Amino acid sequence: MGGDGRSGGSTAPQGRPEPAGPSASTGAHEEGAERLIAEARQQIDDLDGRIIGLVQQRIAVSARIQQARIASGGRRVNLSREMEILRHYESQLGQPGTALAMTLLELCRGRG
């Protein structure tokens, strides 16, 4: 018994309980932080679902534009429009925005 490490509970010097280790699921050391992280992660999951849905909508709209452009004798890709999009994303999100825009443009270019 006592603080010799053989009893069920471990204590820090002066009888204080040792801090709990980080939660395996959140990495938080406190219950309040763990709850906040879990709730915020749920919000992120919800936002990610909405973002994916919006990207899928963007792909569909882009396909309609490409079909109309090709049907009228134009090219599938409009490079000046793509540059405009890249500049917009960079102005709003900085350099990482350019990478995000490139990924979106790649997704929306279609397969043919």
Name residue, tokens 């569909």: 60
CA–CA dist 48, 43 (Å, integer)? 9
CA–CA dist 102, 89 (Å, integer)? 9
Where the chain has pLDDT below 70, the residues are 1-23, 111-112
pLDDT of the residue at 44: 98
Per the structure block, which two tokens stand in for 58? 């963007």
CA–CA dist 42, 98 (Å, integer)? 27
pLDDT in tens, 66-84: 999 999 999 989 999 999 9
pLDDT of the residue at 90: 98
DSSP 8-state secondary structure symbol assigned to residue 73: T
Nearest Cα to Cα of residue 23 among 11, 12, 15, 31: 31
DSSP 8-state secondary structure symbol assigned to residue 76: S
pLDDT of the residue at 15: 59
